[in-house]
């Protein structure tokens, strides 16, 4: 008789979409999970007969996908969701967001805003987020008990804020956060210089050195608007990407957010250097920043990830909506209905994100050896029927509310649409208190 492997969970669904290999949609398959890791993936009968799991779950009419990686957000800004919409980027920042931040942001704000964001993201199938905000230690302390993966941005700015009074302090506090989470299973860190227009060469040089010695991603807003590039050229004669290249930062650890204005040679350089682009289509549209040329980046071989940006400029943290917008916008940008196909958007929202954060060997696809981070999307309702192609249905028809079950490292964090690891009602109550103060 065949030896049965132990397993914590055997999980099957009508469709399993592993993302690797590309284009694969598996029917009648299952995965076995042991110690938080995918131990096996195969035909359900084989997985069943080969394992003696503690628990079996079958999700009829559901599609199982890798948990989404939200590659760029400012989680705590959920507390500003809808505070100031339909405004130009400069007025939005200078007259609304920055004053509100100066007045209200502290550790408690970040805790409350991040709890609300984590509740929204986990509920919508996002299992990992790459954050950039003040008090990244607080972000980590919220994510960890909620069972959510986070990459904490060790923010660097050259202006004093409630987080740090000067450049040296930003680095010192950032490195404290890095040390505090070193070796954590769920929480990692990235260097997060805010943007070329708020960070000087000296700081960027130190960031390059730390990035190399600590093997950390460099998460930076870059080429968000035409105005940013024009100003840089006017003041320094250099485009921001060229400047980062001169400083040695355009390499596989670069995770460059937005990139809405790119020359052909810049696309080639990003590809040649192995840098990643973090695409935030809804934020770029809402602030009229421009359009990231995703089809051309992909054609050149650049790794592209997908992010929502903060809820103040989106206004949700919804990777399903973001995939759809990215697909539609790419077709417009390329004037080609075959551009940004559904399968590629799902890959961007999962494996693309993982790779951009240096986590490509641990998460982003459902393959044996990787962490069991997965989301199940219920396609049985009238608005997602009939199903000819489960990936098409997920990208073009489903909403975040169709996500019903979520696991991170094998731990079930959402069960039938309800969060198991965070008190969502308490997060909403807290957010209401902040609103009363901020309004």
Q: Interacting stretch for a copy of itself, rule CB under 8 A, among 230-238, 251-259, 279-287, 351-359?
A: 279-287
Q: Is 60 near a copy of itself (CB under 8 A)?
A: no
Would you say 130 or 314 has its CB closer to a copy of itself?
314
Q: Quick check: 273 and 254 in contact, CB under 8 A? A: yes
Which of these, 254, 246, 169, 251, lies nearest to 217 by C-alpha position? 254
Q: Is 258 near a copy of itself (CB under 8 A)?
A: no
Angstrom distance (rounded) from CA 316 to CA 73: 10
Q: Is 369 helix (H, G, I), strand (E, B) or coil?
A: coil
Minimum CB separation from a copy of itself for residue 22, in Å?
A: 14
Residues near a copy of itself (CB under 8 A), total: 70
Minimum CB separation from a copy of itself for residue 202, in Å?
A: 34
Q: Is 104 near a copy of itself (CB under 8 A)?
A: no
Q: Which two tokens stand for residue 216?
A: 């950390």
Angstrom distance (rounded) from CA 217 to CA 219: 6
Q: Is 146 near a copy of itself (CB under 8 A)?
A: no
Q: Is 389 near a copy of itself (CB under 8 A)?
A: yes
Minimum CB separation from a copy of itself for residue 266, in Å?
A: 21
Q: Is 335 near a copy of itself (CB under 8 A)?
A: yes
Task: Give the residue, chosen from 60, 235, 386, 416, that forms a contact with a copy of itself under the rule CB under 8 A.
Answer: 386
Q: Is 93 near a copy of itself (CB under 8 A)?
A: no
Would you say 113 or 140 has its CB closer to a copy of itself?
113
Angstrom distance (rounded) from CA 302 to CA 289: 21
- The answer, yes or no, to whether the previous bond of 26 is cis (omega within 30 of 0) is no
Would you say 120 or 228 has its CB closer to a copy of itself?
120
Q: Is 75 near a copy of itself (CB under 8 A)?
A: no
Compute the chain's Rg from CA coordinates. Answer: 21
Q: Quick check: 62 and 404 in contact, CB under 8 A? A: yes
Would you say 8 or 333 has its CB closer to a copy of itself?
333
- The answer, yes or no, to whether the previous bond of 327 is cis (omega within 30 of 0) is no
Q: Is 22 near a copy of itself (CB under 8 A)?
A: no
Minimum CB separation from a copy of itself for residue 407, in Å?
A: 19
Footprint (CB under 8 A) of a copy of itself, residues 344-383: 380-383
- The answer, yes or no, to whether the previous bond of 422 is cis (omega within 30 of 0) is no
Angstrom distance (rounded) from CA 198 to CA 196: 6
Q: Is 59 near a copy of itself (CB under 8 A)?
A: no
Q: Which two tokens stand for residue 28?
A: 């009648």
The helix-helix angle for 136-146 and 167-180 (nearest 10°) equals 20
Strands of the sheet containing 187-193, edge to edge, are 68-73, 126-132, 149-156, 187-193, 218-222, 254-258, 276-279, 303-306
- Give whole-number Cα distances, 100 to 166, 281, 436, in Å: 21, 24, 13
Those residues with Cβ within 8 angstroms of residue 344's Cβ, 6 or more apart along the chain or in another chain: 298
Q: Is 334 near a copy of itself (CB under 8 A)?
A: yes
Q: Interacting stretch for a copy of itself, rule CB under 8 A, among 13-21, 30-38, 167-175, 286-294?
A: 286-294
Site track 292-331 with a copy of itself (rule: CB under 8 A), x = hit: -------------------x--xxxxx--x--xx-xxx-x
Q: Which residues bind a copy of itself (CB under 8 A)?
A: 78-79, 81-83, 85-89, 92, 116, 119-120, 123-124, 282, 285-288, 291, 311, 314-318, 321, 324-325, 327-329, 331-332, 334-339, 341-342, 380-383, 385-389, 392-393, 396-397, 399-402, 424, 427-428, 431-432, 434-435, 438-439
């Amino acid at each position: 008789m065949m030896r049965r492997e132990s397993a914590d969970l055997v999980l099957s669904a009508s469709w399993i979409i592993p993302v690797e290999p590309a284009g694969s949609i598996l029917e009648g398959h299952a995965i076995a999970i042991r110690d938080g890791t995918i131990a096996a993936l195969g035909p359900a009968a084989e997985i069943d007969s080969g394992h003696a799991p503690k628990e079996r779950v079958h999700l009829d009419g559901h599609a199982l996908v890798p948990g989404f990686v939200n590659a760029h957000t400012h989680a705590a800004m959920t507390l500003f969701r809808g505070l100031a919409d339909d405004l130009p980027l400069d007025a939005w920042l200078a007259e609304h967001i920055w004053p509100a931040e100066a007045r209200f942001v502290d550790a408690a704000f970040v805790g409350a805003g991040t709890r609300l964001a984590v509740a929204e993201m986990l509920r919508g199938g996002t299992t990992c987020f790459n954050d950039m905000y003040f008090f990244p230690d607080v972000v980590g302390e919220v994510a960890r008990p909620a069972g959510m993966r986070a990459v904490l941005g060790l923010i660097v700015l050259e202006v004093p804020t409630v987080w740090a009074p000067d450049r040296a302090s930003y680095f010192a506090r950032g490195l404290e956060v890095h040390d505090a989470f070193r070796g954590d299973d769920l929480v990692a860190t990235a260097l997060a210089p805010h943007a070329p227009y708020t960070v000087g060469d000296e700081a960027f040089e130190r960031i390059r050195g730390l990035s190399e010695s600590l093997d950390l991603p460099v998460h930076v807003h870059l080429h968000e608007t035409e105005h940013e590039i024009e100003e840089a050229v006017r003041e320094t004669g250099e485009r921001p990407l060229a400047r980062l290249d001169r400083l040695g930062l355009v390499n596989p650890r670069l995770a460059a957010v937005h990139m809405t204005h790119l020359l052909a040679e810049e696309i080639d350089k990003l590809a040649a250097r192995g840098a990643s682009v973090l695409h935030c289509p809804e934020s770029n549209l809402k602030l009229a920043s421009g359009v990231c040329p995703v089809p051309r980046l992909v054609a050149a071989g650049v790794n592209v990830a997908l992010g929502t940006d903060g809820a103040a400029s989106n206004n949700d943290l919804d990777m399903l909506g973001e995939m759809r917008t990215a697909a539609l916008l790419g077709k417009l940008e390329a004037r080609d209905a075959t551009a940004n196909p559904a399968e590629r958007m799902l890959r961007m929202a999962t494996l693309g994100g993982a790779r951009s954060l240096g986590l490509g060997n641990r998460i982003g696809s459902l393959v044996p050896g990787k962490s069991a981070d997965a989301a199940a999307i219920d396609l049985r309702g009238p608005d997602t029927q009939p199903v000819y192609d489960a990936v098409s249905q997920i990208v073009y028809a489903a909403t975040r509310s169709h996500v019903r079950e979520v696991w991170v490292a094998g731990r079930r964090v959402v069960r039938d649409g309800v969060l198991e690891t965070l008190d969502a009602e308490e997060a909403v109550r807290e957010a209401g208190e902040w609103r009363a103060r901020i309004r």
